[in-house]
Amino acid sequence: MRTPLIAGNFKMFKTVPETVAYLIELRALVRDVHGVDIVVAPPFTAIHAAAAVVRDSNIAIGAQNLHWEREGAFTGEVSAPMLFVAGARVVIVGHSERRTLFGETNESVNKKMHAAIVAGLVPIVCIGETLEQRTRHETLAVLDRQIKEGLDGLTGAQLAGIVLAYEPVWAIGTGQNATPAQAGEAHFHIRQRLKQWFGLEASDRCRVLYGGSVKPDNIGTLMAAPDVDGALVGGASLDPKAFLAIIRGAAI
Ligand code: 13P
């Protein structure tokens, strides 16, 4: 049985004081919530302060990106060990905004994922097709390539500890979420591939989240789709009460 996971991706929203105020409120709201793991990923600047607010609580802090080298002359980049020491325990890798706006490829996703694991961070590896690819009926082939190349070199034991997020690009920030049938089809396919390439036991333990316009009023039906183990939430995670409703909607 996989514990559901709800992760909030703040994207480029909230300053340090705004993140701290949010987490003070969320910490109190989720104090008695069980049966679901909770992650909040603020911008880099707020990670350290955020980690201090959630210490000894049921909320973990995530980052939204990393560089694969430990250190070096890479102006503007942040490494996995730096994130870990700042208090992050999770990191989002290969988000579609990074793929489309910042040139992220399956190859860089793969390097970042391995670097995260070495540093003790749980990577949330994002995959998903564009509208154009869906229209051309390429969705499953795109997912296959993202899984094969993005997770290259991963052992079964490592797969069991990472998280995948299926985020159809056309559903992100558009208010147009995938139907439970569309999400279910993609998640079923992803799980089959993980079984095929990493074995039954490891694939059974790897959590696969859905992301794209998840809101309090659709989390229930999305969670009911087969093989959906939680959600990666953008816009609706910015309000602690809306995020709480999503967390409650996923708890078992
Ligand atoms: P929205 O929930 O705003 O559609 O964003 C989804 C997302 O990109 C989470 O990483």
Pairing of strands 5-9, 90-93: unpaired
The reported pLDDT for the residue numbered 173 is 86
| Best mutation site among 100, 167, 172 for ligand 1 pocket (most ligand atoms within 8 Å of CB) | 172
- The CATH fold assigned to 5-250 is TIM Barrel (3.20.20)
Per-residue pLDDT reduced to its tens digit, 95-128: 999 999 999 999 999 999 999 999 999 999 999 9
Residue 215 alpha carbon, nearest atom of ligand 1: 2
* The one catalytic residue among 104, 114, 167, 187: 167
pLDDT at position 208 is 98
pLDDT of residue 194: 97
Provide the pLDDT for residue 49: 98
Closest CA to ligand 1's atom 1: 234
73: CA distance to ligand 1 center in Å?
A: 32
As a whole-number percent, the residues of the chain with pLDDT over 90 amount to 95
Give percent of the chain with pLDDT exceeding 70. Answer: 100
- Amino acid 154: pLDDT: 98
Look up 137 and say whether it is catalytic.
Answer: no
Task: State residue 167's pLDDT score.
Answer: 96
Chain CA centroid to CA 161, Å: 13
User: How confident is the model at residue 222, as a pLDDT?
Assistant: 94
pLDDT reported for residue 1 = 80
Task: State residue 175's pLDDT score.
Answer: 84
**Could you confirm whether 25 is annotated as catalytic?**
no
Q: Given ligand 1 and candidates 232, 237, 239, 246, which is best to mutate, with the most ligand atoms within 8 Å of its CB?
A: 232
Contact 211 CB / ligand 1 (< 6 Å): yes
pLDDT at 123: 98
The set of residues, in sequence order, having a beta carbon less than 8 Å from that of 3 and lying 6+ positions away, is 35, 36, 37, 207, 252
Is any atom of ligand 1 closer than 6 Å to the C-beta of 116? no
Q: Is the CB of 169 under 6 A from ligand 1?
A: no
Mean pLDDT of the chain: 97
- Tell me which residue has tokens 């333990």: 205
Spot the catalytic one: 67, 95, 114, 187: 95
Does the beta carbon of 203 lie inside 6 Å of ligand 1?
Answer: no
What is the C-alpha to C-alpha distance for residues 161 and 138, in angstroms, rounded to an integer?
A: 28
| Residue ranges in the chain whose pLDDT is less than 50 | none
178 lines ligand 1 (CB under 6 A): no
What DSSP string describes the chain?
-PPPEEEEE--S---HHHHHHHHHHHHHHTTT--SSEEEEE--GGGHHHHHHHHTTSSEEEEES--BSSSSSS-TT--BHHHHHHHT--EEEES-HHHHHHH---HHHHHHHHHHHHHTT-EEEEEE---HHHHHTT-HHHHHHHHHHHHTTT--HHHHHH-EEEE--GGGTTSS-PPPHHHHHHHHHHHHHHHHHHH-HHHHHHSEEEEESS--TTTHHHHHHSTT--EEEESGGGGSHHHHHHHHHHH--
The residue whose CA is least distant from atom 7 of ligand 1 is 234
**Helix, strand, or coil here: 175?**
coil
